[in-house]
Structure 1
Amino acid sequence: MKTVCVGRFLVDVPVQAEVSLSREMIDGFEIEKREESETAFHERVAARAADIDAQAAKDPARRTSGMLEARDLAIPGMAGRSLVYGRTRSYYFEGERRIDTEWVSVEVHAHKEGWSFSLSAKFADETSARAAEALLARLRLRGEDDIPAVAGFCIGRAVFAEPLPPHKTEHIAMHIGLPDHPDLGMAFASLPGGGTSRTLLERYADMDADAGADELLRVTRLRTGKRDIDALAGEEVLERVREFNFATTFGFVWEAQGVKDDPLRPFLSLELHAGISAEPGGKPRDSSLHEDAVLALWDCISSSIRLRPGGPPPSGPSGPAEPPGPKLGAVASAGDTCPQSGWWQCNEGGPDVGVQGGQVQYIRKGERMPQPLLLPRQTLWQKVRRIQSSVEPERLAAWKLVDKRLWPRMVPLVALAQPGMPPMPGDAGAGKPPVALLGTQVRTGEPCPASGWWRCEESHALDGTRWFAHGSLLPAATFQVPASVFGHAAGPEAIRRRSVWQLVRQMEPAPPRETAPADVAAAGILGEPPALA
C-alpha cells in the first residue's frame, strides 16, 4: 500500500493504483495547476488579460464589464498577477422590496519553482482578489507522493499550509483505478459538511420502498449500517447486483455527514464500483474480482481514512516510537471504544447459550464494544414453531482480543471435491507452459487448460477460488445442505453438482522436471499451488 494526501485526510491505496485529483476548491475559488516555465506563464497570463479586454470590446454597451484591475502579486518567491473583471449588476425582490446586487469575476495567477497555480471565481466582490492572494501566500510545493509535515489542505503537488485565513469551504475528490482491473473504480470526496438533510441509510430505505419486486430480488445487501472510521461517524451500504444481462457487479458506499462550516469535519464519501463496462454506455460486465477480494479491498482502503496529523513526523529511527497497540488477550467492556481492529471473544454465552452474531465477532477500532444479546438453546417446541428466545445480560459484558487478522483462518467443515488426475508429465509433450486468457471458463470434468487460480461461478458454493494444475480434470462444486428445524440436515451434510470455473489468475509453473508417478501428489500437482518465492 501507499499513502495519498487528499485535502485534510490520508488514505492508503494499493501501490499499483492510478490516482488522480479533481474538483479542487478552497473558499469558493476553483484551483487549477500546471507545470510550465516562468516565461510560458507570463505569456499565458498576458494573453488571458488581452482576451478579457477583447471580449468586452465586442459589446460597446457593456464596455464597463471589461478589465477593472490588473496588478502584480506582492508575495516573496512567487511571480504572478491578479485580474479583476466583468462587473455585472442585477437585482431581485424580497417581497415588494427590490435589492440591487453587483459582482465581478476574479482570477489570481501565481508561478513558483516550475509550477503555476490559478485561483478563480466567476461570482465574487472586488475584495476577493485579496483573499485569494492571502491563500496563495500560504502555498507550499510538495512532491507527488510526499506527505506534508505541516497541517493544511493538500492539493496536487502543493499544500495550503496553516495558519490559513478564515474560510469555510474546501472541496477535493480522488479517483482510484487499478490497471489490472479496468472494470473497477473508486472515488473519495471531501466536501463542505452539514448540507445533506437525509443520511445514506435513509436514502437507501426510500429507494427500497419505491423498488419493484424484480429489483429487490436482483440486489443483495452484503453489509449495511452505521460504521465509524477514525472517530468519523458514518454509514455504509455494500451491495451485490445481478444485472439484467446476468453480470455480477458490486456497489459500495460509505458517507460521513460532517459539520457545517468546519473544514476539519467535512462531508466525506467513499464509493467503489466493480463491473463497469470499458465502453461508455456499455452493458455491465462480471466483476474481475471475486466477492471476498472486493470486500477485502474495500475494508483495507476504507479503514485507512484518517485526519492528517498537524505536526511534523519523527525524523528517522531516532524519533519517538509509536505506542504499541493492545496485545492479544486485551479486555474491553461493552460500551467502551474498541482499541484495536480484530476478532473479539465475548465472555458471555457457552454450550447452552449462544450470542447473537457469534461469540467471536470482528470489531473495528473506534467502534463501540457491543452489549451482546444471549440466545438460550431452543426447546423442541420452539424449534418446531421457529421461535428463538433472547436475553440481555444485566451486567456489562467483557470482550477479549483473540485475533488481529482481518479474517480468521477457518478450517472447512465439509471436504471439497478434488480434481481428477492429470496426464503424466511425459504425455504433455515439450514446449512452452500452456497459457490461457484470464476469464476463460471451463466446465466440471473438462481438463484444466493452464495452471492457475480458478473461481467457482456458483456464488453459494463452498469452493470459492482454488488452484488447479494444467491437465487436471476440474471438480464439481460443493454445497452445504442447510439444517432442518431440528438442527441437523435430513440427508447428507454436503452435495456436489456440476459447475463452471473461471480463470482469475495464472502463475507460470517452474521448468519441467522428471517426476515419478508416486511423487505426483507430493509435488503439488493436485493440491496446493507450488511455493511462491
Structure 2
Amino acid sequence: MKKVHAGYLAFIAAALLLSACDGFPESFKSPNMTALPPRLQPMFEKTKVICFGRFQVEVPDSATIVYARAQTPFNTERLEGAGENLAQWVAKEEAKFRSTFQFPSSDGVTNYKETIDGAVPGQKIVIGYQDGSMLANIYQITSFVKVGADLFVQSTSAGVEPNEPGSDWTLPKKLAGLDATAGLLRARPNDEVPTEPGVCIDGGFIADAPGLSHEKIPLGVRFKEFPDVHLSIEVTKTPRIDDAHGVERRLKKAEANAQKTGMGDWYSRIKFFRRGERQIEGWKGYEVLARKPAQEGASENHQFLFESQGEPDDALKPMLDVNMDTGVKGNAAAGQKPSLEDDEAVALWDKLTSSIRVRPVGGAAPKKTSDAGSLLPLGELAATGRACPQTGMWECVDEGDIRGGRRQLFRAGEKMPAIVRVGAPSLWQRIKGETPTYRSATVWKLVDHDVPRPS
C-alpha cells in the first residue's frame, strides 16, 4: 500500500502556517457531519461490507477491492486459479535457488537445499539459502499451499544453526509455524465476512490461533464512478509503538524545511480543510485533509490521511493508516485533474472512514461438519484455536508424552485445544513429587469418524 510521501508532508506542514480552515463549511471541520452530495448518493444506494484482517469497511457495491501481500505472520500472497499448477511453481522456486551459488561461488555449490512435504495435503515447502548471505547462514523458506482452485504462497527466513539458545529464528520453528498456519487456512470468497475469530486475506481466511505474533493487512478500494479516486487502508499489529514518526512530529519537521523552499506563493494557495485529532471506532489518531494546487508536471489533487498508532500487541487495536488521493492516473497521484469537488471528496472520505470497525465475531461457526450431512475426509487438519470442523477422533502431529494422549475426541464446533506436554522432572521436582507441564499450539489431524461409545 502507498505510504505518505515527504512531498505531501511538506506541503501539509506549510499549510499549518495558514489559517486555511477559515471560510469552509462547518461540516468540513467536524468528521462524519458531511452529508453526501447528489452525485455521490447513487453510489451508496447499494453497498457491501468488506473484510480485511480482523476488520471491516462498507463500500459501494460497484467498488473494486484490491488486496496486496499480507503478513499473517508470514508474507502471504494468493495466486488465483493456480492451484493445479503447484508443481510448476515449486519447480520455478527450486530453479531460482539452483541458479545462484553459495559463497565462494567458485565451489559450485548452489543455494538450493531441499523440498519437503508440509503437514497439509497439497503443501510443498522449498528451502534454500538466501542469496548473498555470507557462508550461507540464512535459510529462505517458501511454502506453497493448494486451497481449492488457488495457490497460497507463504515465505519467511531462518538462521542456519547454531542459533542463540531459545531463539525462535530456527528452521524447525519456522517450519512448524508454516505448517500450523497452513492448517488454519481455508478458501474465502472476498464477499464473505466470517463470524469466527481470525484474519481475512485475499481469497482466504486464517482462523485464530496462538502464535500469530505479527499481522499486516493492506487493502485498496477503487471506484467505478470516479476511477481517479484511490482509497488505501492498512492495519499493522506490532509488539511496540514508535511514535517518533507520527504525523504531528513529521509535520513539525517538514514545516522547518518548507520555509526554506522559496515556494511561498504555491503554499499560500493550499486548501487545508481539516487537521487535528480524530477518533475512528476505537482508534485515536490524527487526521489531515487538504488539496494542493497544480504545479509543473502535476495537477491539483486532494490528499487525505488518518493515522493511529494503536496499542502494542493488540490485534483488535493495531496501527491504522488510511489514505485517499484524487487525480490519480495509473498509479501516479496528481496525474490528472480530480473528478471530485471539495465537498464531494470530504463527504466520501467521511462516509468511508466512519464505517471502519472491528468485525463482529461469535456467531455460528461455518457449516463444514458431519452435522451438515457430509463427512470430511480423513487427514483433514485443524490447528489450535480453530472451531472443530468434524466430530471424530483427532490426533496431534506432535510426538512425546502428551496429557490426555495424542489421540482425542472432539465434537464439531468445539475449539481445538492446545496440547499439554509432560516434561522430565528435575531432581528437586522429583523430590517434591511435581511433574512439569508445558502448553503449546499444535495441528490436529482427523483419523477416525467413529466416536467411541461410553463403557
TM range (shorter): 0.5 to 0.7
Partners in 2 of 1:188 and 1:114 — Cα distance? 27
1:18 corresponds in structure 2 to 64
Partners in 2 of 1:305 and 1:38 — Cα distance? 32
Write out per-residue CA displacement over residues 235-290 of structure 1, whole angstroms, 9 at most, x where no aligned residue.
101112222369542111001102333333221111111123x2676964332111
Matched-pair contact (CA < 8 Å) for 2:291–2:302? yes
2:268 corresponds in structure 1 to 217
Deviation at 1:180, TM superposition (A): 2.6
Matched-pair contact (CA < 8 Å) for 1:30–1:120? yes
1:206 paired residue among 239, 253, 257: 253
Partners in 2 of 1:248 and 1:54 — Cα distance? 48
1:254 paired residue among 287, 295, 306: 306
Residue 147 (structure 1) aligned with residue 193 (structure 2): yes
- Residue type matched to 1:270 in 2? V
- TM-score, normalising length from structure 1? 0.52
Residue 266 (structure 1) aligned with residue 318 (structure 2): yes
Write out per-residue CA displacement over residues 34-53 of structure 1, whole angstroms, 9 at most, x where no aligned residue.
23365422343244335534
Partners in 1 of 2:139 and 2:348 — Cα distance? 47
Residue 108 (structure 1) aligned with residue 153 (structure 2): no
Write out per-residue CA displacement over residues 488-522 of structure 1, whole angstroms, 9 at most, x where no aligned residue.
xxxxxxxxxxxxxxxxxxxxxxxxxxxxxxxxxxx
1:425 corresponds in structure 2 to none
2:107 corresponds in structure 1 to 61
- Residue type matched to 1:141 in 2? A
Residue 290 (structure 1) aligned with residue 337 (structure 2): no
Specify whether residues 12 and 313 from structure 1 end up closer, same or farther in structure 2 by C-alpha distance, changes over 3 A only.
farther
Matched-pair contact (CA < 8 Å) for 1:225–1:237? yes
- TM-score, normalising length from structure 2? 0.60
Write out per-residue CA displacement over residues 51-95 of structure 1, whole angstroms, 9 at most, x where no aligned residue.
53454499452627321x4221222xx31112222168968xxxx
Matched-pair contact (CA < 8 Å) for 2:140–2:156? yes
- Residue type matched to 2:351 in 1? C
SS in 2 for 1:182: coil
Deviation at 1:160, TM superposition (A): 0.7
Q: Greater RCO between the two (CA within 8 Å, min separation 6)?
A: 2
1:84 corresponds in structure 2 to 127
1:160 corresponds in structure 2 to 206
1:180 paired residue among 225, 228, 234: 225
Partners in 2 of 1:228 and 1:62 — Cα distance? 58
Partners in 1 of 2:300 and 2:99 — Cα distance? 55
SS in 2 for 1:137: helix
Partners in 2 of 1:47 and 1:207 — Cα distance? 45
Partners in 1 of 2:252 and 2:362 — Cα distance? 42
2:357 corresponds in structure 1 to 306
SS in 2 for 1:181: coil
- Residue type matched to 2:76 in 1? I
Partners in 1 of 2:132 and 2:105 — Cα distance? 16
Deviation at 1:104, TM superposition (A): 0.6
Specify whether residues 305 and 79 from structure 1 end up closer, same or farther in structure 2 by C-alpha distance, changes over 3 A only.
same
- Residue type matched to 1:41 in 2? L
- Residue type matched to 2:252 in 1? A
SS in 2 for 1:252: strand
SS in 2 for 1:204: helix
SS in 2 for 1:311: coil
Aligned length: 301
Structure 2: gaps spanning 5 or more residues? 1-46, 160-169, 367-455
Matched-pair contact (CA < 8 Å) for 1:88–1:104? no
Partners in 1 of 2:95 and 2:118 — Cα distance? 18
Deviation at 1:310, TM superposition (A): 2.7
Alignment of 1:353-432 (within 5 A): none
C-alpha RMSD of the superposition? 3.0
SS in 2 for 1:197: helix
Specify whether residues 308 and 247 from structure 1 end up closer, same or farther in structure 2 by C-alpha distance, changes over 3 A only.
same
1:171 paired residue among 216, 241, 255: 216
Write out per-residue CA displacement over residues 188-238 of structure 1, whole angstroms, 9 at most, x where no aligned residue.
111244234232123223323432433431222211111111121111011
